[in-house]
Structure 1
């Protein structure tokens, strides 16, 4: 390719920055309807057709494809590699993701032993942030001697790492940046291989399944509210239908829509032929268990992404199977998944006086 063509290709390529993630819109035209106008025939009237069926990803772009983080346009702080607001909205996308994270937080806080410096409610909020964002922040309140006498929680969704090493800021509702002093904020995060500024959740690989589960639920709800049908085309080629007849049929069809509106329609066309009126279904809903399969598969993906046993995720066993003794599953889950999270949170003790340190106990493993 010549240098001239390369420059032209770069000029035609557009990127849209949405939720701190770049999406390539080079080959996507959101305003086009893919409609193809067929050759005009005066005897048949205007006929048009359109193509459909191309793959349409929920998140059009490389959601996880980033190389580190970058300074904001004002040059004061680093933007998170993933939209924190988007991660917060995902908590309510389906019936599993949010409750699993809440359950994990409750298990983490089981056996927490606080102190006068770090209260239980502060650690609970920090543990919630850590499970959702893999980031949590504490504000140290120090006395005149530099000793930490109180610890407060800072919401991770609003926290940003400043350009200056070791300094952090918090965005208020107006988008204004509140800067903290050096050493005032303690940031606990996981390690990300692409950058070392923020932590990144490992469950990002299950985002498609989370949204697919939501889409399946919304489709079933719309299907139910639409009178238990996907939709159809009322096709007529009869020359005996006048304009008034067509309006009457349209009004009757509109009146039959909605939940509980199951109505029969009588239609008489003088000298009509057999196929003057046809009902053509639009969607294929022949397999009644299709939505159930989608929800089950996406549910399994979500549970697997959180590494939580199905017995602890309020999932009913299928058929005549069972999950065995749940009392044996809980200690293994706590040992493999919960204790590493507690150990991360306990690193706050490095900034606390000896008399104000916190700890976690594990009664199930100690017994």
Structure 2
């Protein structure tokens, strides 16, 4: 009984399209093929769509244009990134003169939120007569601006949101060129450098933890007996794992010069690349924060150093800390009384 012919699927048709007869000199499978990947493109290029949109809302509060949880996790991505922010926070907190409404502890948290998130919120705690007793720091990571003008929401998690009493929350925000609902931190242009700095450190840690430190080719061209080759092979295998920093002794009687060569393939290049990435990303982060390197304990690479640290501190205070003080003095205008007050600083170079 004859069977009907079966229709070939797409894979079989593609294979058959090459022809049933293969030439004897057909070496296409062994030929060298070359191709290029094209120009590099940023992975986050679609994020520029946020520049053309407003902050979306869920009929109750607006969502920030960037992930506040991501900014919080990136705070400790690079030691220079977090150290620069902590330096500004400490200097601002030290220059504060505590009042009956604002404590130095609440102000330090307010400053840190402003520098990390680009937003800072204070909550009025009132007595039964409606007078302000004190100002509490409200975490910017979980505070949202409401759709209704003057309203704010506390959103710590799913289905745990609570609306604040009207008129009790005051917001300080770093200006953004795309929207006026939330502020954005000034260091966003250097955030990729801070993350690259972290990636380089993590890659280096994994390199040392996995125990594979050979990083070279043992190229032997002399006349060796099989037992000698096996001995060298076993010695190389034992160089992996705990105690891998070992030296290997090879004795070759009547061996010729250059019979054994060690060709490094990874260690030197990886070391230079690691140091270059660390130094370049550090400079990017410090440029974004505008912090002199000598104030962060960075050791200069040249003999000349970074100059007088006292003069650098005075310039930094005048160019960075004083403008930040003016930002927090805006709270007095919103509250109607002097809750934030700064002391007079004596120049360190005098």
Give, in whole Å, the separation in 2 of the partners of 1:78 and 1:233. Answer: 59
Contact 1:148-1:351 at 8 Å conserved across structures: no
User: 2:328 — aligned with what?
Assistant: 345
Query: Secondary structure at 1:176's aligned position in 2?
Result: coil
Give, in whole Å, the separation in 1 of the partners of 2:199 and 2:175. Answer: 32
The answer to whether the aligner puts 1:307 opposite 2:324 as a matched pair is no
Alpha-carbon offset, residue 117 of structure 1: 1.3
User: 1:358 — aligned with what?
Assistant: 340
The answer to whether the aligner puts 1:325 opposite 2:325 as a matched pair is no
Contact 2:291-2:316 at 8 Å conserved across structures: yes
Are residues 82 and 195 of structure 1, via their aligned partners in 2, closer, same or farther at CA, if it must alter by over 3 Å? same
State how 1:290-305 maps to structure 2 within 5 Å.
Answer: 290-305=273-288
Give the aligned CA root-mean-square deviation in angstroms. 3.7
Give, in whole Å, the separation in 2 of the partners of 1:310 and 1:79. Answer: 36
Alpha-carbon offset, residue 143 of structure 1: 3.8
Normalising by the residue count of structure 1, what TM-score does the alignment of the two structures yield?
0.70
Contact 2:122-2:170 at 8 Å conserved across structures: yes
Contact 1:148-1:353 at 8 Å conserved across structures: no
Give, in whole Å, the separation in 2 of the partners of 1:56 and 1:89. Answer: 27
State how 1:38-77 maps to structure 2 within 5 Å.
Answer: 60-63=44-47, 65-67=49-51, 68-72=53-57, 74-77=58-61
Bigger helix share? 2
Contact 2:118-2:173 at 8 Å conserved across structures: yes
User: 1:23 — aligned with what?
Assistant: none
Give per-residue Cα distances to partners, 1:241-293, cap 9 Å, x unaligned. xxxxxxxxx99987653342359799xxxxxxxxxxxx998858536322111
Contact 1:148-1:352 at 8 Å conserved across structures: no
Are residues 160 and 252 of structure 1, via their aligned partners in 2, closer, same or farther at CA, if it must alter by over 3 Å? farther
Alpha-carbon offset, residue 59 of structure 1: 5.0
User: 1:151 — aligned with what?
Assistant: 135
- Runs of 5+ consecutive residues of structure 1 not aligned to the other structure: 1-44, 235-249, 267-278
The answer to whether the aligner puts 1:127 opposite 2:80 as a matched pair is no
User: 2:223 — aligned with what?
Assistant: none
State how 1:236-251 maps to structure 2 within 5 Å.
Answer: none
Are residues 252 and 71 of structure 1, via their aligned partners in 2, closer, same or farther at CA, if it must alter by over 3 Å? farther
Are residues 168 and 251 of structure 1, via their aligned partners in 2, closer, same or farther at CA, if it must alter by over 3 Å? farther
Between 1:329-338 and 1:172-181, the stretch displaced more is: 172-181
Alpha-carbon offset, residue 77 of structure 1: 1.3
Aligned residues: 297
Alpha-carbon offset, residue 362 of structure 1: 3.5
* Greater C-alpha Rg: 2
Are residues 348 and 230 of structure 1, via their aligned partners in 2, closer, same or farther at CA, if it must alter by over 3 Å? farther
Are residues 65 and 361 of structure 1, via their aligned partners in 2, closer, same or farther at CA, if it must alter by over 3 Å? farther
Alpha-carbon offset, residue 58 of structure 1: 8.1
Give, in whole Å, the separation in 2 of the partners of 1:54 and 1:314. Answer: 42
User: 1:260 — aligned with what?
Assistant: 243
Give, in whole Å, the separation in 1 of the partners of 2:62 and 2:234. Answer: 57
User: 1:276 — aligned with what?
Assistant: none
Give, in whole Å, the separation in 1 of the partners of 2:303 and 2:330. Answer: 45
Query: Secondary structure at 1:359's aligned position in 2?
Result: coil
